Amino acid sequence: MRKPSVPPRDPSTPLRSAQDDREPMNFKLKIWRQRDAKSRGKLVNYDIRDISPDTSFLEMLDILNEHLIRTGGEPVAFDSDCREGICGTCSLTVNGEAHGPDHPGAVCELYMRKFRDGETITVEPFRVGAFPIIKDLVVDRSSLDRIVQAGGFISARAGSAPEANSILVSKYDADLAMEAAACIGCGACAAACPNASAMLFAAAKVSHLSFLPQGAPERQRRVLKMVHVMDEQGFGNCTNTYECEAVCPAKISASFIAKLNREYARAQFRQRLGE
């Protein structure tokens, strides 16, 4: 006998509200399927029915996968982890937009109530040369780690730190640093950029650390090395299209790119002076 796929409801978990008369929704999905890095991929059509408007986009994909598993198909591979917009793992392009239509927010924070019943939704991976596709919707973003490894840190060995309040940071600078540091490292900026540039990502890290007095001794070397590795990884250049800012789930301002450019020019100038 076939077992029901969903266990009986526990009485302690809530039922849907009696006042909630919103109808379940149906969608046509076009999803990018690609066996591995070397294979050719293509968009495959799926119909999905009876989705509550309160379902998240990724939960909708979970439901599709459950169905595929039950009916002998192969589930769609996609990345996600925290599902609350902070870990930066999820990385989908929905209807051509990195993280989908509900900005600012990662695609794990996108809910089906943002779509129309019957809508056709196209789901693709982040398309960036420096993010090779691993399978279906999953891409390899280790190039972002390599940018940070190039110098996106303050070298403070455990044990060598002075008393915390001996380093004063004005609230203004601390707030600016925090705004830049909020980057979740998802790579949507590069995915949205027509040049596949990771400038917003690099700018956020360079800005965060150069606003703070702690970062000063490494300021020059940091920006030169990070920009060098960013280019080496195959990311494109910035031509100020602001697409990155528009899709950034952490609302990182493109003005940090100007900050990066200033830091870079300053560092180059000082390097030429032999400093």
Is residue 102 within the footprint of another protein (CB under 8 A)? Answer: yes
Closest approach, Cβ 246 to another protein, in A, equals 17
Residue 170 beta carbon to another protein: minimum distance, rounded to whole angstroms:
5
* Binding range to another protein, per CB under 8 A, among 55-63, 192-200, 238-246, 258-266: 55-63
45: contact with another protein by CB under 8 A = no
Query: Which residue in 38, 168, 273, 274 binds another protein (CB under 8 A)?
Result: 168
The C-alpha atoms of residue 170 and residue 9 are separated, in whole angstroms, by 53
Give the separation between CA 178 and CA 261, rounded to whole angstroms. 19
Q: Is 80 in the site for another protein (CB under 8 A)?
A: yes
49 exposure class (CB count in 10 Å sphere: 0-12, 13-18, 19+): exposed
15 binds another protein (CB under 8 A): yes
Sheet of 97-98: strands edge to edge? 42-51, 25-33, 120-125, 92-94, 97-98
Q: Contact region for another protein (CB under 8 A) — 75-83, 239-247, 258-266, 267-275?
A: 75-83
Q: Does 62 bind another protein (CB under 8 A)?
A: yes
Helices 255-272, 199-210: inter-axial angle, 10-degree rounding: 70
Instruction: At 78, give phi and psi (nearest 5°).
Output: -145, 155
Q: Which stretch binds another protein (CB under 8 A): 38-46, 92-100, 150-158, 266-274?
A: 150-158
Q: Looking at beta carbons only, is 131 or 264 nearer to another protein? A: 131
142-149 vs 219-232: helix axis angle to the nearest 10? 150
Q: Please list every residue from 236 through 275 that binds another protein, using CB under 8 A.
A: none
Residue numbers 177-236 binding another protein by CB under 8 A: 177-178, 181-182, 184-185, 208-209, 212, 214-215
- For Cα atoms 9, 110, 77, give the angle at the middle one, nearest 5 degrees: 80
Examine residue 87 and tell whether it contacts another protein (CB under 8 A): yes
Report yes or no: 28 and 56 within 8 Å, Cβ to Cβ.
no
